[in-house]
Every structure is written in structure tokens, then in C-alpha cells.
A and B are shown apart, each in its own frame.
Chain A
Amino acid sequence: MSEAREKHLDELREIVAEVLEVEPEEITETGSFVEEHEADSLRAIEILARIEKKYKIDIPQSELPRMENLKAVHDVVATQAGWQD
């Protein structure tokens, strides 16, 4: 796993944990936000908003349903931000 990917995952984990009000280590790569942390559509929008702000990118709202766990969030953001992780 590349260092860049590791760094990005940590940053995203931090954002997600803050919004879902859990400790960062509780957010695993494949753990479902909805099933494990009671996320709902408002939380999802908050996660999207914070990511857009941090990386100065636009993520189409149509990507929201895909962003169900940390790994999926990373994949979506990597595509939009042009990361080569």
C-alpha cells in the first residue's frame, strides 16, 4: 500500500469519524457507515461537504450512495481529485 494512500485514508477517516462522532480507529476500511455507525442521509451530506472543502473538489451527489464505507469514499475522492494512490 502506498504512503499517499495511507495518508489520504487517515485524513478521510478523521473527517468521517468527526461527523459520525466516533473515534477514528472505529472506522475500518470496509465497515458500513450505516450499519455500524447509524449514518443517515444528513451525515452523508456532511461527509461529502467536508471532503469537498478540504480537497477543494466537487463530488457529484450521484456518488453519495456509493460512499458507504471508508474504502468506497477513498475510491470516489481519488477519482475526483485525480489521486494516483
Chain B
Amino acid sequence: MSRRFAAPLTAVDTVDIADAPAGARVEAVKRITGDDPYLAGHYPDFTIYPGVFTLESVHQAIRHWATERHGPGAVAELATITSISFAAPLLPGDTLRIGCDLTEHDDTPTAVRAKVRCHRGDGALSARMTLELRIDRRDGDDHA
């Protein structure tokens, strides 16, 4: 496994992207396992998928969309968490299902808003968030 950005773990297993009137609909799935990096410390006596990892899962799903939409050199960076809140916890064996509605701004095509709802395999709402992301291009980046 290799990746093009630093990340605590591979936070999505599958990503499906569909066009939508104002942008795109991105759906992703992540199966929670206790073997993933970092989870041994969260917590030692019982494992729970950290809330920020749900944020990471959503971010990685949107990164997939960004490269599909804008090409391999495009990177979706998190600019603002307008709001995020967590409900049902995710434990090993649970499945995280992400549903993400992306809106591209007409005047600034590099800015994207994401309205996201995440559910656990049993249908319980596990998180919702509203994010603003910025599409950066890295093809022309200096190899500093």
C-alpha cells in the first residue's frame, strides 16, 4: 500500500462517485478493524474508531473525487470544518457508510462544500459534518 499524502490510516475501502446537479455525490465504505494503525492506543482496554478518523475517512473519499474530477495532480485540502458532530460510536466489526453531497461554487471552482452524513452498518447515524475544501494542484509543485 502506498499513498501520495500523509494519513493516519487507509480510511476508505471503496469509493463510489456519481454526478449530481450542483456537484457530485460521493459514497464510501470503511470496515472498522482493530488492526488499523493508531487504534491500539485508542484505547488500550477497548477499541473505538476515533471521531477524527471518521473525518479522515470523509476527507479521503473527497480526495478520490478530486483526482477523478480535476486530474491526478489535484489534492483536496480541508479548509474549514463548519460543523461536525458524532453520534453512534464505531467499534471493530462495524461498517462506516459515508454519504457526501459536494457542491462546487460557481465563482470559485477551487472551493467545494461537503454536506456529509455517516451511518453505521445497522443504520444508526454515526456522524454528520459540513466541510469546506480547497482544491490545490500539486503537479507544478517544487520538489523542495
Q: Do chains A and B touch in the complex (CB under 8 A)?
A: yes
Give the contacts of A37-64 with B (CB-CB under 8 A): 38, 40, 42-43
Contact partners of A35 in chain B: CB under 8 A: none
Contacts of B85 in A (CB 8 A): 40, 42-43
Distance (whole angstroms) from the CB of B86 to the closest CB of chain A: 8
Cβ–Cβ < 8 Å partners of A40 in chain B: 85, 87, 125
Query: What is the chain A residue whose CB lies nearest that of B82?
Result: A21
Find residues 84-113 in chain B having any chain A CB closer than 8 Å to their own CB: 85-87
Q: What is the total number of residues of chain B having a CB less than 8 Å from a CB of chain A?
A: 6
Query: How many A residues touch B, CB cutoff 8 Å?
Result: 5
In the complex, what residues of A have CB within 8 A of residue B87's CB? 40, 42
Chain B minimum-CB-distance residue to A42: B85
**Pair A21/B130 contact, Cβ less than 8 Å:** yes
10 A-B contact pairs sorted by A residue (CB < 8 Å): A21-B83, A21-B130, A38-B125, A40-B85, A40-B87, A40-B125, A42-B85, A42-B86, A42-B87, A43-B85
